[in-house]
Amino acid sequence: MKMNSWKYMTLHVGKNVKRVEDDGILCAGLFGTALILSALADFRRAALRNMSLFCSALACFCTLFPAAGQQAERARVPDKLFGHRFLTFNTEICVNHIETTRTDNAGVGVRRGELKDEKHYRAITPARVREFRDALENGFPDARMTWGISWKALHDTTPDFVEIRRMIVGYHYQYGDDVTLMPHSYFANVYNDVEQLNRDFRDGLAGISRMVGGGFRPKSVIAGFLAAPNLEYLAREEGIHVCQGNIWSQYSIDNQDGEGSVCYPYYPSREHFCKPAQGARDFIDCVNLDGWTVDFLAARHEGGMRNGKSYNCRMGVGPIETLLFLGREKGLRQMLHTTALHFDEPNFSTNGFAWVTSNWELFLPVEVSGLTEWLAEVRRRWPDTRVITQGEFGLLWREQFRENSFDYRFVEKRGSGISDSDSTKQIRWFMNKSFRLALLSDAGKNAPEEVIDFTRYDLPASEPKEFTRSWSLLGDINQKQTRPQDKPLRLKELPAKFRRIIRRRYPL
């Protein structure tokens, strides 16, 4: 009897009975062990007829005996947040490069045989998935990552995507990777109302649990941008308390704006996903995470063009703005510069911990060797770095911070000199639950600083009620300088009320 002809398989181990659907991979534990013993009893028949099932059971066996699957090492998450450097890494499995609803899309198809533009996109295939996961393992052997599966990819019945789902579940059991839903690319609220998205989360997360089996639940969700009511739904109804739900500083690029938030973890407000909660009244118990760590000096601009030249405000550790646009050598240099902003002093000691995050879309025409080289250099320069899933990191932050008592401070003393990372400038950022403040000055000089961003979070805020790309929370002065009021000012030129608010926290 062939495995794919079974509707269900029933395994008996003592008094335990387990039904396993044929579209999943066997759960870890005694069931996988029992199947291995059965296959070994008649290895020739297992090899000829049931090798796929045998391999699946072997992966499960490795989770029962950690030394075989190296899970003992990978399962170690620090018992505290402070004193550690963290790197989190995500990817998206999708059918179209921008999916907008359960059935619609605004992008090209990236399945094998459908892809027309092979210059700008790669087909998502089992080989591409394997190449990518191997690149991560080769660069940082102890790494765990998070796989985001779109609604369409979760339900696609083509052979490639059936196999890709099997592979990802296998990576969960082999490496400890997290597997979660990414509902509709990164801009779900632009195309869906809150209620529809909540239904998508309900049904999609249940589908992920069925796919992985064994009572599995994701530790987080990947969403790009996500509205406050949806974040609250995840925490209240789905028991998920970590979400990649904002893309720090994104403005006038891609399909949605969401400028105005904090770049490190925070609890969002019920009023706006960019706003840190001010107290119990507006508190959402879902840690909101950035999606890509970016260069602070590059981030102060908007979009991808400036004065007729190609720049990108998203430049940091993401592959598009570095390896793809800049090439391997310069791209890696910029990725490491951005990483060092957080992992080196003084920012590491000032904040007590450091965090860098990236999301790598598999349809990008970028050689994965660049990923390996970046991670290998991170491991060499900062060998204590913990590469864990974003859910594990977010939950560790949640254990440390029960409310928004954070006080993040960053300084980029000099840009990299690449693209919009201006080597003649210095920028300082101050971020707390009440406001964020950015000061720009000439690098290496005792020059006066100018305020290029002052965004208060202690004021009422609201999210759009209509379908729109404009979800930013712009303060009195915004770093993008898109409004007349955003003209930089020296601290002494600020209104007296603003100076008093700032000096309650910082002796500037």
Between CA 82 and CA 352 the distance in angstroms is 5
3-state helix, strand, coil in the chain (%, to 5): 35, 20, 45
3-state SS assignment for residue 288 = strand
From the list 291, 347, 293, the residue with the least C-alpha distance to 316 is 293
Q: What's the mean pLDDT in 118-126?
A: 86
Phi and psi, residue 289, nearest 5°: -115, 145
In a domain, 508, yes or no: no
pLDDT at 37 over 50: no
Instruction: Clarify whether residues 334 and 416 are in a common domain.
Output: no
What is the pLDDT confidence band of residue 104, given thresholds at 50, 70 and 90? confident
State the pTM of this model.
0.86
Three-class SS of 150-216: CHHHHHCCCHHHHHHHHHHHHHHHHHCCEEEECEEEECHHHHCCHHHHHHHHHHHHHHHHHHHCCCC
CB 259 within 8 A of CB 472: yes
- Give pLDDT tens digits for 167-202: 999 999 999 999 999 987 787 778 888 999 999 999
What is the pLDDT confidence band of residue 17, given thresholds at 50, 70 and 90? very low
pLDDT at 226 over 70: yes
- Choose the final residue of a domain: 71, 103, 126: 71
Instruction: Clarify whether residues 67 and 104 are in a common domain.
Output: no
3-state SS assignment for residue 80 = coil
From the list 342, 340, 314, the residue with the least C-alpha distance to 326 is 314
> Residue 134: which CATH number?
3.20.20.510
Peptide bond connecting 488 to the previous residue in cis, omega within 30 degrees of 0 = no
Instruction: Clarify whether residues 324 and 363 are in a common domain.
Output: yes
Instruction: Clarify whether residues 21 and 165 are in a common domain.
Output: no
Q: Which domain holds residue 385?
A: 84-407
Instruction: Clarify whether residues 373 and 297 are in a common domain.
Output: yes
- Average pLDDT in the chain: 86
Burial 132-144 (b: 16+ CB within 10 A, else e): bbebbbbbbebbb
Total of domains in the chain:
3
- Choose the final residue of a domain: 36, 71, 106: 71
- Give pLDDT tens digits for 362-379: 989 999 999 999 999 999
Q: Which residues pair with 354 in a beta bridge?
A: 85
Instruction: Clarify whether residues 301 and 244 are in a common domain.
Output: yes
CB 451 within 8 A of CB 491: yes
Between CA 18 and CA 70 the distance in angstroms is 26
Instruction: Clarify whether residues 313 and 435 are in a common domain.
Output: no
